[in-house]
Amino acid sequence: MSDRTKPDAQTGMRKGLAQYGDAEFSLFLRKAFIKAMGYSDDALARPIIGITNTFSAYNACHRNVPDLIEAIKRGVMLAGGLPLEFPIISMHESFSHPTSMFLRNLMAIDAEEMIRAQPMDAVVLIGGCDKTVPALLMGAGSADVPAILTVTGPMITGSHKGERLGACTDCRRLWGQHRAGAIGADEIEEISGKLAPGPGTCMVMGTASTMALCAEALGMMLPGGAAIPAVDADRLRHAEATGARAVALAAEGLRPSQIMTAGAFDNALRVLQAIGGSTNGLIHLVAIAGRLGVELDMDKFDRMGVETPVLVDLKPSGQHYMEDLHRAGGLAAILREISGHLETQSLTVTGRTLGQEIDAAPPGWEQDVVRPVSRPIHQGGGLRVLRGSLAPHGALIKQAAATPALLRHEGRAVVFSSLADMAERLDAPDLDVKADDVLVLQNAGPKGAPGMPEAGYIPIPRKLAAAGVKDMVRISDARMSGTAFGSIVLHISPEAAEGGPLALVRDGDRIALDVAAGRIDLLVDEAELARRRQGWSPPHAAPERGYKKLYWDEVLQAEHGCDFNFLRKHPLPR
């Protein structure tokens, strides 16, 4: 009798048996039902590799998932395993009401519980659209079963009148021109059919691209996988290799907690700065780390920004697209440039260290997509953490995508109390607003919206856009898509719905931003703020039922990744 077939072997079909009071009956019943799927005893005796099926007819970013699953299955079977796909929640940014961030933790719960509930010796995670990668890594980190990630890959670019286009930085840029009257209704409709020309994720340095690169740097993806375009044959070959490696992980027992260590998170944070990544990336990495008991140091992250310039010339901080990064060598080209700052002894899903993977990567060549440290896109890192009287627990700005002249600015507050208030008044001809004002959005945070929507990219008021204003300082407790650009302060904590200082801002207040100093301050004396605080009340009552109630009761603020407190390895005291 082999070790795998011994009664006490907690592997394969014996893993996580349903509770009937008789383990052998549980196994007998399980095998009887799985044989209805047509599997032989030989197949059922092999290592079982679960594959998360995140396909959905609502999710174009995951359109190629069925093809990836077939390639992963091929890899698993060639390596002697039995692949079993299973459905899991699929989320797309444009098809998640009120926001995909509201549902990210639900997907993480789904992943964690299904990995635990079903027999699998290892699991392949298929991510893609923004929140799916962090949700899968959060769930896999909590379940701590051997796991490996692959992604759907970025879209190829489109074209309009000879101009190369990509979702969704160009979506925002061209929509801004439409709002300003430079592009008509017919043309903007034509453009909408060209921005996303095929399957895959946004092909700029949005959240999907950011999380793919950070996940590879974290060690949870086979080298080279982050940037391969969705339609490229290499994407299927990478999926096949991922399936084969999953079988090896099952045998080795290498778990996410052994890979996603404090040093590995430092590597991911360093990459986040070097790529000019999405502000969402920081929230997600904090959430993933919290599942493993790792606390990320925001002061250290700021210091990384000083040491690590933005090297990747991709929109929205630069000019190129993800397919260009793939041709330029992918993540390996970036890691080489910053290798002196990396924790190269961190273990990766290959079983080798990050340093060994960098050494094994194909040699680089001269190109302009990944700049040398001596000639960066932006000096000082992509992201900057801000603190001050307006954000006692922190805020964030993507300084690499901001207007340099606005990185130090003082202006008059123009306040919108909610998303609905902003929608109603932003474009009103009589709105009292000037180009040097500061647009303030309240109650758009984790609880306020709810779900912390990507509403931080507050549009330039129509009358200013028509006059040629391209950027203003905008602040909120919301998030911003990684595809967006501008002088935008986000993730202000505590949020307005929790009674943070943001809730007390009124029209005409002076607000001071100093990115170099890491400050965002409300220039109102404490006595006046105390008076306002006495008159403050929450914007809406707590939900009474369902997932929305669970979300409200348990969601944490941005500095803790907006995860549910009870799902962290070490919940915070209330």
Let me know whether 244 and 274 are in one domain. yes
**So what's the pLDDT on residue 5?**
38
Asked which of 109-113, 256-260, 400-404 is least confident by mean pLDDT, the reply is 400-404
Domain assignment present for residue 278? The answer is: yes
Does residue 548 sit within a domain? no
Q: Virtual CA dihedral for 500, 452, 128, 259, nearest 10 degrees?
A: 30
Q: If you average pLDDT over every residue of the chain, what do you get?
A: 94
Residues 459/179, Cβ–Cβ less than 8 Å: yes
Lowest mean pLDDT among 15-19, 224-228, 242-246, 516-520: 15-19
The helix or strand, by DSSP H or E, that contains position 302, with its residue range, turns out to be helix 298-307
Are 71 and 219 found together in one domain? yes
DSSP 452: -
Q: Are residues 206 and 334 in the same domain?
A: yes
Residue 27 placed within a domain: no
The 10s digit of each residue's pLDDT in 268-281 is 999 999 999 999 99
The mean per-residue pLDDT over the stretch 1-22 comes to: 68
CATH number of the domain encompassing residue 415: 3.50.30.80
Q: In the predicted model, is pLDDT for residue 536 greater than 90?
A: yes
The answer to the question of residue 429 being in a domain is yes
d(CA 565, CA 574): 9
Domain co-membership, 331 together with 437: no
| pLDDT at position 133 over 50 | yes
C-alpha closest to that of 428 among 416, 437, 443, 445: 416
Which pLDDT score is estimated for 9?
53
Number of structural domains found in the chain: 3
Per-residue model confidence as pLDDT tens digits over 504-515: 999 999 999 999
> What's the whole-number mean pLDDT along residues 485-509?
97
The β-bridge relationship of strands 408-416 and 510-514 is antiparallel
Does 229 lie in the same domain as 168?
no
Q: Are residues 222 and 348 in the same domain?
A: yes
Q: Are residues 164 and 136 in the same domain?
A: no
Range of the domain at 429: 384-539
Q: Which of 549, 560, 546, 436 is nearest to 495 (CA)?
A: 560
pLDDT exceeds cutoff 90 at 7: no
Choose one of 302, 327, 360: the last residue of a domain.
360
pLDDT in tens, 160-215: 998 898 888 888 889 889 988 999 999 999 999 999 999 999 999 999 999 999 99
Give the least confident one: 290-294, 332-336, 536-540: 536-540
pLDDT: is 574 or 573 the higher one? 573
Tokens of 59: 């999710």
